[in-house]
């Protein structure tokens, strides 16, 4: 499930957005100021941020620029909200690094469509579409993982880990990147945790002869690769 951070000082608007997003199946956290938003992001990296331009103190625009310049938040998907429909504002918002831009008032359907479009572009694992790599297939909607019709039982962390690896196959991910993207935070968890869950995931995949799809890349991290000899 995707976590969305809503940064908006007008609590009625923030609550309305939150209710609609929760109804659509998202987890939602609300922050009323830029510094509260920064605290939330430092604690758990969200999958997407809805960021109001007009905030007391530091503006949404300045916060977006700040996030774009920090390594950990460089890729954070951001949708900016504004009450002003000026074309120059839109350009400034996109220049500051927002992925999309929405003018108030907007409909819930429009907001959800923009969120899904941004997530699809920037974080395909956040969506419920079926993914298949080699002999392995995963349906996040039903939480079913299978190979050649045989189901693989996975714990929630192994499921999220496999989902991330399958939606970012053939690329090498460091332990710290995996902690950030799968666990949602890399600050308080030891990198060894990743090794423990990779071991469990391999043990589960052994049942369908897919354990070797998860490669250890020495000194770099892990990679899921389409394995030619999955039946070997
Ligand atoms: Ca506002």
Give the pLDDT confidence of 119-178 residue by residue, as tens digits. 877 765 556 778 899 999 999 878 899 999 999 999 888 999 999 999 888 889 999 888
Same-domain check for residues 112 and 135: no
Same-domain check for residues 32 and 136: no
CA dist 218 → 158, 167, 178, 189, 221 (Å): 21, 22, 15, 21, 7
Q: How far apart are CA 224 and CA 91, in angstroms?
A: 39
For residue 10, report the distance from its CA to the centre of ligand 1, in Å.
5
pLDDT at 124: 55
Residue carrying structure tokens 């938003």: 37
pLDDT at 232: 37
Number of domains in the chain: 2
- Collect the ranges in the chain with pLDDT lower than 70: 1, 85, 123-127, 184-188, 227-232
CB atoms closer than 10 angstroms to residue 3: 17
pLDDT at 97: 84
For residue 70, report the distance from its CA to the centre of ligand 1, in Å.
24
pLDDT at 123: 60
Same-domain check for residues 116 and 140: no
Q: How far apart are CA 12 and CA 18, in angstroms?
A: 10
Taking the whole predicted model, whether its pTM rises above 0.85 is answered as no
Same-domain check for residues 182 and 203: yes
For residue 98, report the distance from its CA to the centre of ligand 1, in Å.
16
Same-domain check for residues 27 and 92: yes
CA dihedral sign, ordered 82, 84, 90, 95: negative
Say if CB 61 and CB 96 are below 8 A apart.
yes
Same-domain check for residues 10 and 96: yes
Same-domain check for residues 29 and 103: yes
Same-domain check for residues 175 and 218: yes
For residue 119, report the distance from its CA to the centre of ligand 1, in Å.
23
185: containing domain: 131-224
For residue 223, report the distance from its CA to the centre of ligand 1, in Å.
42
Point out the domain boundary residue: 126, 148, 169: 126
For residue 7, report the distance from its CA to the centre of ligand 1, in Å.
8
Residue 231 lies in a domain: no
Same-domain check for residues 55 and 74: yes
Residue 229 lies in a domain: no
pLDDT at 227: 63
pLDDT at 171: 85
pLDDT at 186: 53
Say if CB 136 and CB 163 are below 8 A apart.
no
């Amino acid at each position: 499930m995707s976590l969305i951070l809503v940064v908006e000082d007008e609590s009625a608007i923030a609550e309305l957005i939150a209710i609609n997003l929760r109804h659509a199946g998202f987890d939602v956290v609300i922050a009323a100021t830029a510094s509260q938003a920064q605290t939330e992001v430092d604690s758990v990296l969200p999958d997407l941020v809805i960021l109001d331009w007009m905030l007391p103190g530091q503006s949404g625009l300045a916060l977006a620029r700040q996030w774009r310049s920090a390594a950990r938040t460089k890729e954070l998907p951001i949708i900016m909200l504004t009450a002003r429909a000026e074309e120059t504002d839109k350009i400034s918002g996109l220049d500051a690094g927002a992925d999309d831009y929405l003018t108030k008032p907007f409909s819930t359907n429009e907001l959800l469509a923009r969120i899904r479009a941004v997530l699809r572009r920037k974080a395909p694992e956040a969506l419920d579409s079926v993914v298949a790599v080699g002999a392995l297939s995963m349906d996040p909607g039903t939480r079913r993982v299978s190979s050649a019709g045989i189901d693989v039982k996975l714990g929630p962390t192994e499921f999220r880990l496999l989902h991330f690896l399958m939606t970012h196959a053939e690329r090498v991910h460091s332990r710290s990147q995996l902690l950030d993207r799968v666990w949602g935070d890399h600050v308080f968890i030891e990198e060894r945790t990743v090794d423990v869950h990779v071991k469990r995931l391999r043990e589960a995949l052994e049942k369908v002869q897919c354990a070797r799809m998860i490669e250890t890349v020495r000194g770099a991290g892990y990679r899921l690769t389409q394995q030619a000899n999955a039946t070997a």
